[in-house]
């Protein structure tokens, strides 16, 4: 049974980052810690009472497809209707189109609850949000007025339609064609791996489709973005005739069985009617807006599932009696949570999850500032930092989610490998997250090529300077705080040296740089996690000294910070060595020898 981690979410939002982070953002002038707590508490109720009960049944029964192209899910339709009626789809939406305009950092915290309670469900509104963002930025005023109000309200859902059988991550190979037809286009082609591309939740689904206009040049520069609704939309906004889009099948997957992954056929007859978004040939650029938003959201899925796996493993460890731990109070058989290695595995999961959560919400706060701050320079700096962090959040957190789910099975022992305990579902579900919206390797290449390369490491240098300054400012004498501070500062120095070495490789040995891109990304995540743990420990120690409420929670923050510093951060040294000297061992190997 999933329980929303409200205490830690509130700690990150209100104590670690704080509502003051949004000072200077006019839209969020009315946001307060109290408002955030209220929203989180209501979201927790929905996650625990509506979504979690569907978690197991969604896995065992899954989505169903019929030859007529109809897709249904076990109980999810009613849950989605309650989700939309509760205003959850509107949380971070633009007020101009019916949204509530809440900060992205709060929205990120809320999304974790959806993902932790029921990842398969959460994917549907996530994709709608990405479609909304792309349409809001690049759609015409008429397109916005026609589609956004019903998408923001949740009355309609949206999708990202990129992948084709011959074009996985290489979108330049897209063959779906768009034939001009007066004031619109008719699309012909087949797309695969379209998450929630068909369902019975809503009267319409708005597909955002990449296609190539007849006569467009090959490669990525010939790709355009189109709005292709399942049902055509009349001028008054009402749903009209069925468009020429059909779901040919749904995939049989390792996990997230209740989330239909669809094969969609566009133009089996006269062509699917689509509207061009923005300028022709800029579709990939526009789609990256959706992908960027989705990358942050997929990243939080990683640690959301890690949280769920931790909760289940910890509960098992508290009740499973096996063996005689060396510190057992009774001297006889005791719950396995007293075994040192079980404690180590649980602390690994708990400390990593807290670090990933803190980094994702911090990154979201930077995107809030980038979008809403009144000062141009602060907006620009925050955008650079948010852009830098997104691939780290996405890849490091999803890789961490897989590790956590695997450790959860290990804590259960042989029973973890049995489906009836439920431990395996978290592992199966989370495995896709390192692949969604670009694999870990793609995220690492993005971090190097687009983020480090574009400014020769200036954004990273600015971040590390701020991190070092904040760490040096910690004066709390608590031993756990000091251990966390020392470990984090050592990690910052190692990351700085690795960054310098990597920038040198980018200048003349790009293959060697790319060979160590993933270790560099993981190094970045671990070090930034250490920084946020040290800050958290300092806050917790201060609250304890002042007689703060919930002393056990605060002592737990100190314990996880110390553990992270002494068990996780030492891995930064090894990764830094790989980044500085390991590229040739990959780049110089003939592929025929592998």
The string of DSSP codes covering 557-574 is HHHHHHHIIIIITHHHHH
Identify whether the C-beta of residue 215 lies closer than 8 Å to the C-beta of residue 223. no
- What sign does the dihedral 79-80-81-86 (CA atoms) show? positive
User: Which of 437, 490, 494, 573 does the annotation list as catalytic?
Assistant: 437
- Name the pTM for this structure: 0.96
Q: DSSP characters for 309-326?
A: HHHHHHHHHHH-B-S--T
Q: How many CB atoms are closer than 10 A to CB 18?
A: 14
Question: Is 41 tagged catalytic?
Answer: no
Identify whether the C-beta of residue 537 lies closer than 8 Å to the C-beta of residue 555. no
**Residue 479 token pair:** 């031993």
34: CB partners within 8 A, 6+ apart? none
Query: What pLDDT is recorded for position 294?
Result: 87
State residue 543 phi and psi, 5-degree precision: -65, -40
Enumerate the β-bridge partners of residue 180: 185
Query: What pLDDT is recorded for position 528?
Result: 98
- Measured CA distances, 541 to 476, 481, 538, 578 (Å): 7, 8, 5, 35
Element (H, E) at 261: strand 261-266
Residues of 285-318 as b/e, b for ≥16 C-beta within 10 angstroms? ebbebbbbbbbbbbbbbbbbbbbbbbbbbbebbe
**Residue 245 token pair:** 């889009």
Element (H, E) at 126: helix 119-138
d(CA 277, CA 174): 17
Task: Tell me the pairing of strands 223-229 and 272-276.
Answer: antiparallel
Collapse the DSSP code of 371 into the 3-class scheme (helix H, G, I; strand E, B; otherwise coil) and give the result.
Answer: helix
3-state secondary structure 394-428: HHHHHHHHHHHHHHHHHHHHHHHHCHHHCHHHHHH
Q: DSSP characters for 191-256?
A: EEEEET-S-SSSS-EEEEEEEEETTPPSSGGGEEEEEEESEEE-TTS-EEEEPSEEEEEE---SS-
DSSP 8-state code for residue 374: S
**Residue 15 token pair:** 């104590």
Per-residue pLDDT 10s for the chain (594 aa) are 999 999 999 999 999 999 899 999 999 999 999 999 999 999 999 999 999 999 999 999 999 999 999 999 999 999 999 999 999 999 999 999 999 999 999 999 999 999 999 999 999 999 999 999 999 999 999 999 999 999 999 999 999 999 999 887 788 889 999 999 999 999 999 999 999 999 999 999 999 999 999 999 998 899 999 999 999 998 888 899 999 999 999 999 999 999 999 999 999 999 999 999 999 999 999 988 778 778 999 999 999 999 999 999 999 999 999 888 876 555 678 899 999 999 999 999 999 999 999 999 999 999 999 999 999 999 999 999 999 999 999 999 999 999 999 999 999 999 999 999 999 999 999 999 999 999 999 999 999 999 999 899 999 999 999 999 999 999 999 999 999 999 999 999 999 999 999 999 988 889 999 999 999 999 999 999 999 999 999 999 999 999 988 999 999 999 999 999 999 999 999 999 999 999 999 999 999 999
345-348 long-range contacts, CB within 8 A, separation 24+: 345/313, 345/407, 345/410, 345/411, 346/310, 346/313, 346/314, 346/317, 346/411, 347/559, 347/560, 347/563, 347/567, 348/403, 348/407, 348/563, 348/567, 348/568
């Amino acid at each position: 049974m999933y329980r929303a981690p409200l205490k830690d979410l509130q700690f990150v939002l209100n104590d670690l980052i704080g509502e003051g982070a949004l000072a200077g953002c006019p839209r969020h002038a009315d946001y307060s810690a109290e408002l955030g707590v209220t929203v989180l508490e209501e979201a927790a109720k929905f996650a625990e009472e509506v979504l979690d009960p569907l978690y197991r049944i969604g896995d065992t029964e899954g989505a169903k497809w019929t030859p007529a192209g109809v897709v249904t899910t076990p109980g999810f339709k009613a849950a989605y209707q309650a989700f939309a009626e509760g205003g959850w789809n509107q949380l971070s939406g633009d007020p101009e189109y019916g949204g509530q305009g809440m900060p992205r950092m709060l929205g990120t915290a809320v999304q974790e609850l959806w993902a932790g309670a029921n990842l398969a469900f959460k994917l549907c509104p996530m994709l709608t949000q990405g479609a909304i963002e792309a349409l809001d930025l690049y759609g015409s005023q008429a397109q916005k007025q026609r589609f956004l109000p019903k998408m923001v309200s949740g009355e309609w859902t949206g999708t990202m339609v990129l992948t084709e059988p011959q074009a996985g991550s290489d979108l330049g190979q897209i063959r779906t064609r768009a034939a001009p037809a007066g004031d619109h286009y008719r699309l012909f082609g087949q797309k695969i791996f379209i998450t929630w591309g068909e369902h019975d939740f809503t009267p319409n689904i708005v597909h955002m489709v990449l296609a190539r206009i007849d006569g467009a040049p090959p490669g990525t520069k010939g790709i355009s973005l189109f709005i292709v609704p399942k049902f055509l939309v009349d001028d008054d906004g009402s749903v009209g005739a069925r468009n020429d889009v059909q779901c040919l099948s749904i995939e049989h997957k390792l996990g997230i069985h209740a989330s239909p992954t669809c094969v969609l056929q566009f133009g089996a007859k006269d062509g699917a009617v689509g509207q061009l978004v923005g300028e022709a040939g800029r579709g990939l650029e526009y789609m990256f807006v959706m992908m960027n938003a989705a990358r942050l959201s997929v990243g939080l899925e990683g640690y959301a599932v890690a949280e769920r796996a931790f909760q289940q493993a910890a509960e098992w460890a508290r009740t499973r009696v096996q063996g005689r731990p060396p510190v057992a109070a009774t001297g006889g058989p005791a719950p396995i949570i007293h075994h040192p290695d079980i404690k180590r595995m649980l602390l690994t999961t708990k400390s990593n999850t807290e670090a990933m959560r803190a980094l994702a919400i911090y990154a979201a706060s930077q995107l809030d500032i980038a979008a809403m701050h009144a000062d141009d320079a602060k907006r620009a700096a925050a955008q650079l930092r948010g852009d830098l962090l997104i691939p780290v959040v996405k890849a490091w957190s999803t890789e961490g989610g897989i590790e956590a789910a695997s450790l959860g099975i290990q804590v259960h022992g042989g029973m973890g490998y049995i489906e009836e305990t439920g431990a395996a579902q978290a592992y199966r579900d989370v495995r896709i997250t390192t692949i969604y919206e670009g694999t870990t390797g793609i995220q690492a290449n993005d971090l190097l090529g687009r983020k480090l390369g574009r400014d020769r490491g200036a954004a990273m240098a600015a971040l590390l300077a701020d991190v070092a300054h904040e760490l040096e400012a910690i004066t709390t004498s608590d031993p756990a705080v000091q251990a966390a501070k020392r470990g984090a500062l050592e990690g910052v120095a190692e990351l700085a040296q690795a960054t310098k070495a990597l920038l040198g490789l980018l200048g003349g040995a790009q293959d060697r740089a790319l060979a160590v891109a993933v270790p560099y990304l993981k190094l970045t995540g671990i070090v930034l996690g250490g920084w946020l743990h040290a800050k958290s420990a300092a806050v917790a120690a201060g609250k304890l000294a002042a007689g703060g409420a919930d002393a056990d929670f605060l002592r737990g923050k100190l314990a996880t910070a110390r553990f992270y510093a002494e068990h996780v951060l030492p891995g930064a040294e090894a990764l830094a060595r790989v980044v500085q000297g390991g590229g040739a061992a990959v780049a110089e190997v003939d592929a025929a020898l592998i």
